[in-house]
Amino acid sequence: MSAETELLASLPNWAFGFALVLARVGACFSILPGLGEADTPTVIKAGIAVGVSGLILPAALPLLPGADLGPMRVLAVIAGEVGCGLLLGWLARLLVMALPIAGQVVAVQIGLSSVLNPDPALGSQTSGTSRLLALAGPLLILSTGLYAMPIEALVGSYHLFPPGRMLPGGDMAQTVAQATSGCFALAMRLAAPLLIAGLIWQCMLGLLARLVPSLQVYSMSMPGQVLGGLLVFGLLLKRILDAWIGAASAGFSVLPGL
């Protein structure tokens, strides 16, 4: 058999394999932090997913099932690939979600929770500090090279979750639950300085209101609370981002597949 004949005979397996790889990579890249942001044009995300799929295909092809599967089996395999990609992307996304959650806690403490801005990631509207940290997360991931770790986990996931096999539903649910709780715990740690300062400030205002009942505490304290809170937030912003980079690096290093 000539080389051209062998190439033509292998094309169906290559095409089917590329579709399976693209299903996992595309699902992961749709929510992957840094590369799958809602602000990123869909054409760019699709192009990156196709390019990465082409790079992964030669290494993943021996692990992929052949193209001689039945229609229902094909649908089941594709659904499993999409679910695996969404799992990896969501685990990485939760680490980035800690930043805007921390920003929302900060906004509540400094009195800016009612000043809302559009946010395609967390909802129709969110606070200014939350939006600022939401934009800082993808920027830090792309500038520090952290985006490479989820992609490495995606490549390694083909050995951990071989295509065509049932995904461990119980383990997946437990992993997502632990990652979600870790996301909120990280957000509270990042916002802890502003949270403590806000609690102390509110205790002081409560004592002042008890000592001078006729004083309009809210009207007098709000300007100082906003200005002082923004000053403290600005002074601590670099430390908050540095702490998040360390936590994100540690979190990415334990993604399934690494």
Segments making up each domain of the chain, as ranges: 3-252
Q: What is the mean pLDDT of residues 18-38?
A: 86
User: How far from 205 is each of 107, 152, 179, 218, CA to CA, in Å?
Assistant: 18, 51, 37, 8
Tokens of 210: 């008890």
Rounded Cα distance, 21 and 53, in Å: 6
Q: Where are the alpha helices (H) located in the chain, listed in sequence order?
A: 3-31, 42-60, 71-110, 128-144, 148-160, 169-190, 192-211, 217-252
Rounded Cα distance, 25 and 78, in Å: 12
What are the phi and psi torsion angles at 209 (to 5°)?
-65, -35
pLDDT at residue 1 in the model:
52
Percentage of residues in the chain having pLDDT higher than 70: 91
Instruction: Say how many residues make up the chain.
Output: 258
What are the phi and psi torsion angles at 67 (to 5°)?
-85, 5
Q: What is the pTM for the complete model shown?
A: 0.84
pLDDT at residue 198 in the model:
84
Q: What is the DSSP string of 224-253?
A: HHHHHHHHHHHHHHHHHHHHHHHHHHHHHT
| Residue 7 confidence (pLDDT) above 60 | no
User: How far from 37 is each of 9, 33, 91, 138, 146, CA to CA, in Å?
Assistant: 39, 6, 15, 8, 15
pLDDT at residue 185 in the model:
93
Rounded Cα distance, 220 and 240, in Å: 29
Q: Is the distance from CB of 78 to CB of 246 less than 8 angstroms?
A: no
pLDDT at residue 35 in the model:
80
pLDDT at residue 123 in the model:
56
Tokens of 216: 């309009």
Tokens of 119: 């946010």
Mean residue pLDDT of the chain comes to 83
Identity of the highest mean pLDDT range in 33-37, 206-210, 238-242:
238-242
Rounded Cα distance, 119 and 125, in Å: 5
- 245: exposed, middle or buried (C-beta count within 10 Å: 0-12, 13-18, 19+)? middle
Which band of pLDDT confidence, cut at 50, 70 and 90, is reported for residue 226?
confident
